[in-house]
Structure 1
């Protein structure tokens, strides 16, 4: 098998849609939160590890996150990645308890990202950060980042200090995203203190399982709460093979319908479009970040439609060259592979590739 190359000779460009970066301002805010006497246990487990553990992998990740220049471009070239769509690394601003500081961190991150895109316009695109702790300021920053800086989406790292975007207090944030006609990427966060205990004690709180549990629940809340009936044009991206939701669709539809019919939960009402699966197919796009598994990708394409499944690498957290080689070798028609690697991302994020 040949080493992947950029340039599209294989019949498509590789656009990686969930690629992380950080900034000095965010790291400083993380340090302050880590030093607090009541530090969030999931945040401590995640960021305490990546900032301070001496092992080779966290050191590679910490270094790579800070680079928006030649080192990152070299890593992309080594892996055959033509373009990264960048987003502020988890948990981003969501863990910062001072709303003004969180807003500042988001603004500076967007400025730094826009500068990197201007320097490497054919290699980088980006999703805006915001601080939903202050919904009005977050909405203003989304408008600035998309309208003035030219970013291509909005990334929110799941729960905001234990609260979720279906809460009407965040309506201004969702209104701004919908009005700017860009996708919302809901990226994982570690589960909040109210649910993390059994996961943390078993070492299952992070990317191995806890991320999917927490973020899959967030996505479901956006559906079952009726939030997507309030924001009917909103398009949402979730990674890691849809945080397993495509594999749950049959049971989700059955049990949601049963719950609505019996009135079991005050919070669960009938939805305008009926089934959970309808909302997933009409409002969500799935990336395979961290899941270089042909069978899962093909199943999700079958369930969601070929136009709603996109490639992501999950750089720098998971970026073996062998995974790119395996996906290049998928037994899949070239036109479908081109959608997966390139054109679905171009359409969703409004990218014009050279």
Structure 2
């Protein structure tokens, strides 16, 4: 019997860089516990964080243990699935659910922990800075510190911040900093905001099964239609899960956006310089996290360009060696497969140059 377990080291013609890999600290879990104990705690936050902090079921316990490990177990899991490097993102909901001062302070301390792990394992880990959009100026400054002092490769924002979105202009100093530093912002899902969650939660559809993608896709669309890329034309944004379904909607998005602008139906929707699909092809990158399905991956490569699609595992939430095999066996040429796994990630996140 042939052993087809993926191996690290690049013998297949590419390194495997996984670009949406979650981690956490005990300090973060403790802060969530305190926040959940407050009266009127946000139900989306409680539904997400409470499951991983309090449930005794096997899956959340295994995930929590792996989130906290930035050493031996994580690297062993990478070796077992052929992953050469992880790009580490502070797991949702991150620091964005906390009061402003605590969120700013915890973003800084977790970034220090991340930078230390990368120094200890420079050939295996890279990472994105956590920021607290609750204070946009402090978030922009922490992004600058993360990149210029800690060697991080951009920022992660776990979608909405207490029901508010980066499309609101008060948050644009974060985009200004990212563009000036020439680093991307990764927008990752989180628990749904309290004014959105009820019909999803009552059907059990609020999490990764559907609600996460709906809400994060909404966030990216808000950014595009608000004119963010017109103001910051070199800004790069990354989203996971095959683009949170937006690539499959591009025709309708372009058509209905143009029609809505012409009708002047909404004060908030103004003309923008390009179509939504053009911004998706010029300013947005997507990863395959949680979507190890060849038809979806190939479609995204076809409509966005093979240089826009990056591999991700979504460790430890989806940790399956068969999903690596699916990517290895894609019916694409060698150059496209190397771009998917390695060179796109190196280019977008500046890996090896920081």
TM-score higher than 0.5 here?
Answer: yes
Q: What's the counterpart of residue 210 of structure 2?
A: 209
Q: What's the counterpart of residue 67 of structure 2?
A: 65
How many Å separate the matches in 2 of 1:85 and 1:15? 7
| 1:290 match: secondary structure | coil
Across the two proteins, how many residue pairs are aligned to each other?
351
Residues 169-318 of structure 1 mapped to structure 2, 5 A cutoff: 169-273=170-274, 275-318=275-318
Q: CA offset at residue 352 of structure 1?
A: 2.3
Q: Which stretches in structure 2 are left out of the alignment for 5+ residues?
A: none
| 2:331 match: secondary structure | coil
Q: What's the counterpart of residue 84 of structure 1?
A: 86
Q: What's the counterpart of residue 337 of structure 2?
A: 337
Residues 11-90 of structure 1 mapped to structure 2, 5 A cutoff: 11-90=13-92
| 1:351 match: secondary structure | coil
Q: What's the counterpart of residue 128 of structure 2?
A: 127
How many Å separate the matches in 2 of 1:50 and 1:203? 16
| 1:92 match: secondary structure | coil
TM-score (normalised: structure 1): 0.98
Q: CA offset at residue 189 of structure 1?
A: 1.2
How many Å separate the matches in 2 of 1:108 and 1:307? 34
Q: What's the counterpart of residue 7 of structure 1?
A: 9
| 2:250 match: secondary structure | helix
Q: CA offset at residue 44 of structure 1?
A: 1.0
Deviation per CA, 1:173-231: give whole Å up to 9, x if none: 11111111100000011210011110010010110000001000000000011122111
How many Å separate the matches in 2 of 1:296 and 1:161? 31
How many Å separate the matches in 1 of 2:168 and 2:332? 41
How many Å separate the matches in 2 of 1:352 and 1:146? 13
| 1:84 match: secondary structure | strand
Q: What's the counterpart of residue 138 of structure 1?
A: 139
How many Å separate the matches in 1 of 2:63 and 2:51? 11
Superposition misfits of 4+ residues, deviation over 2 angstroms: none
How many Å separate the matches in 1 of 2:58 and 2:341? 30
Q: CA offset at residue 153 of structure 1?
A: 1.1
Note the aligned Cα RMSD (angstroms).
0.9
How many Å separate the matches in 1 of 2:216 and 2:78? 27
Q: CA offset at residue 119 of structure 1?
A: 0.6
Q: CA offset at residue 53 of structure 1?
A: 1.2
| 1:162 match: secondary structure | coil
| 1:95 match: secondary structure | coil
TM-score (normalised: structure 2): 0.98
How many Å separate the matches in 1 of 2:79 and 2:237? 29
| 2:32 match: secondary structure | helix
Q: Which stretches in structure 1 are left out of the alignment for 5+ residues?
A: none
How many Å separate the matches in 1 of 2:27 and 2:282? 37
Q: What's the counterpart of residue 161 of structure 2?
A: 160
How many Å separate the matches in 1 of 2:209 and 2:42? 19
How many Å separate the matches in 2 of 1:263 and 1:187? 31
